[in-house]
């Protein structure tokens, strides 16, 4: 844990590609639990309403990469 605390991280604002965000040396909040919530809801259509810069596109690319892993 101290190894992670001593490193310097940057927080990039505006990156909307999950793969690029996850493989870079930037700090981001893990929102992968969103996938189970979304897929477990049972709805055919889900409206995601959030303010600007709230990570909507990043979550959708995360879901896109998840779907590619499942279908391969």
- Which pLDDT band, with edges at 50, 70 and 90, does 4 fall under? low
What pLDDT, on a 0 to 100 scale, did the predictor assign at position 21?
A: 84
72 has pLDDT over 80:
no
Closest CA to 19 of 50, 51, 63, 53: 63
What pLDDT, on a 0 to 100 scale, did the predictor assign at position 2?
A: 59
Q: Which residues have C-beta within 8 Å of that of residue 65, sequence separation ≥ 6?
A: 18, 19
- Which pLDDT band, with edges at 50, 70 and 90, does 48 fall under? confident
For CA atoms 46, 64, 57, 54, the dihedral sign is positive
pLDDT tens digits, one per residue of 26-43: 777 788 888 888 889 888
């Amino acid at each position: 844990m101290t190894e992670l605390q001593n490193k310097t991280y940057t927080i990039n604002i505006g990156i909307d590609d999950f793969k690029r965000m996850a493989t870079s040396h930037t700090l981001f909040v893990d929102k992968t639990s969103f996938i189970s919530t979304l897929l477990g809801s049972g709805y055919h259509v889900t409206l995601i309403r959030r303010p600007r810069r709230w990570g909507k596109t990043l979550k959708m690319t995360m879901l896109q990469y998840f779907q590619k892993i499942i279908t391969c």
